[in-house]
């Protein structure tokens, strides 16, 4: 698809000594279990096709073992694929030679890690400046850039400490500053907030969104947490057993889960907080409204506004324009996961 910053095409990864032969078998319909039991190869990823748009946050979500960490490592080739293409700005990453690959890793993609992966023997400032050091930037520029990005992630004045003197959340801020200092278009975030406790995690998500509003990076974010995925994602990709189960607009996935796996997934979340008014708005029909509501407000705030009165109808505004209406009865229905509504209607 033209315009995609990163396009993954028919990507396969099979772990084992004869992975390329096995790709043909998997394409022929051999399943994961069959492959493991009869051929002693592990199916990591099968037939992945994802387009990631520039300036968007693409969230890849799945449970552990679903292949999400494997997938993100194909983008900068920390893992070699068995078959397929990864196009970054139209260039196939998998065809790059060692020197070009190194350039890609230095100039095009930076990465944030689940376990921070900071250098314990270097100060926070030196860690933040690490990508510049790798590129051979002069000392003065390294100090300046490190200080700038540390300031930006809220760690101004911590430059002389060592990573072990910081809390987990602060260490990950250093990890983000390091990725930002590389000044790349693309940021890969591998379960970047999963090791943090919930309150800190929320802070970090807010920080990321705030940075993103300003910097418009192309971010690939891996998580196993649906709430986090829904909060951050412009484009959501759900992986299961190494295959894409569903991808698209997160609100759309929430309201129209494609299969039971995703229904299970979405059944546990607080829909009122995640769903936006925009997603359940219908064309204007009513003549009289009980008030107006912003399209990006979540349902929770609307329930609070309405005092729980299901008879009310609100007009939906987006940037001053009226784009539809919300009937509180629709809102209540949207709060119930779709699988149950269907059963109720039958």
Partner 1 sequence: MAAYDWFFDAVGLRAWCDADAVDTPMSMAELLATTRGGDAANAEEGGFLFPSLDVLHGACPAIGQTRDLTAFLEEGFLAARDELRIVLDPITQPLSWMLDGALALFQATPWWLMIPILLFAAWFASRSRPVTAFVAAVLIFFAAIDHYDVAMQTLAIVFVCTSLSVAIGVPIGIGMSRSDLAQRLIVPILDLLQTLPTFVYLIPLIFLFSVTESKLYGIAIILYAIVPVIRLTDLGIRLVDRDVIEAADAFGMTKRQKLWQVQLPLALPNIMAGVNQTIMMSLAMVVIASLVSAPGLGVLVLRGIRNLELGVGIVAGIGIVLLAVILDRVSKAALSRVDKQGKAR
Min CB(194)–partner 1 separation in Å: 13
Min CB(192)–partner 1 separation in Å: 12
Min CB(284)–partner 1 separation in Å: 50
φ, ψ of residue 294 in degrees (nearest 5):
-75, 145
Do the Cβ atoms of 113 and 190 come closer than 8 Å? yes
Find tokens 């800190």 and name the residue. 200
Give whichever of 46 and 76 is closer to partner 1, judged by the CB atom.
Answer: 76
Give whichever of 95 and 103 is closer to partner 1, judged by the CB atom.
Answer: 103
Give whichever of 12 and 116 is closer to partner 1, judged by the CB atom.
Answer: 116
Min CB(103)–partner 1 separation in Å: 7
Give whichever of 104 and 334 is closer to partner 1, judged by the CB atom.
Answer: 104
Find residue 59's DSSP bridge partners.
221, 236
| Contact set with partner 1 (CB under 8 A) | 76, 78, 102-106, 109-111, 113-122, 130-131, 133-135, 162-165, 178, 182, 188
HSE-CB of 239 using CA atoms within 13 angstroms: 30
Find tokens 């300003």 and name the residue. 214
Give whichever of 179 and 226 is closer to partner 1, judged by the CB atom.
Answer: 179
Contacts with 334 (C-beta within 8 Å, 6 or more apart), sequence order: 255, 271, 275, 279, 280, 299
H helices of 40-167, where? 68-75, 98-103, 124-128, 130-134, 139-152
Min CB(78)–partner 1 separation in Å: 6
Min CB(90)–partner 1 separation in Å: 21
Contacts with 156 (C-beta within 8 Å, 6 or more apart), sequence order: 147, 150
Q: How far apart are CA 201 and CA 195, in angstroms?
A: 9
Give whichever of 99 and 199 is closer to partner 1, judged by the CB atom.
Answer: 99
């Amino acid at each position: 698809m033209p315009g995609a910053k990163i396009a993954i095409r028919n990507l396969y990864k099979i772990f084992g000594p004869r992975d390329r032969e096995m790709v043909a078998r998997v394409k022929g319909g051999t399943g994961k279990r069959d492959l493991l039991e009869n051929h002693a190869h592990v199916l990591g990823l099968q037939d992945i096709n994802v387009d990631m748009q520039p300036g968007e946050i693409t969230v890849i979500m799945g449970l552990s073992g679903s292949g999400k960490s494997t997938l993100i490592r194909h983008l900068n080739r920390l893992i070699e694929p068995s078959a397929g293409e990864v196009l970054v700005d139209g260039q196939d990453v998998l065809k790059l030679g060692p020197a070009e690959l190194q350039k890609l890793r230095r100039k095009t993609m930076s990465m944030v890690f689940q376990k921070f992966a900071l250098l314990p023997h270097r100060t926070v400032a030196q860690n933040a400046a690490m990508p510049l050091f790798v590129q051979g930037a002069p000392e003065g520029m390294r100090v300046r850039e490190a200080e700038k990005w540390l300031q930006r992630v809220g760690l101004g004045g911590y430059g002389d400490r060592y990573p072990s003197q910081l809390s987990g959340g602060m260490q990950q801020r250093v990890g983000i500053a390091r990725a930002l200092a590389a000044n790349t278009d693309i940021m890969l975030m591998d379960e970047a907030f999963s090791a943090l406790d919930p309150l800190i995690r929320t802070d970090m998500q807010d920080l990321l969104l705030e940075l993103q509003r300003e910097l418009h990076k192309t971010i690939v974010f891996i998580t196993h947490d649906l709430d986090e995925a829904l909060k951050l994602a412009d484009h959501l990709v759900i992986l299961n057993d190494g295959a894409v189960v569903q991808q698209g607009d997160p609100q759309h996935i929430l309201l129209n889960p494609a299969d039971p796996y995703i229904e299970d997934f979405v059944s546990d979340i607080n829909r009122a907080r995640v769903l936006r008014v925009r997603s359940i708005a219908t064309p204007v029909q009513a003549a009289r409204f009980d008030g107006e509501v912003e399209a990006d407000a979540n349902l929770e705030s609307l329930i609070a506004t309405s005092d729980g009165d299901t008879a009310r109808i609100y007009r939906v505004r987006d940037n001053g324009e009226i784009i539809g209406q919300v009937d509180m009865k629709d809102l209540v229905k949207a709060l119930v996961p779709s699988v149950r509504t269907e059963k109720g209607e039958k």
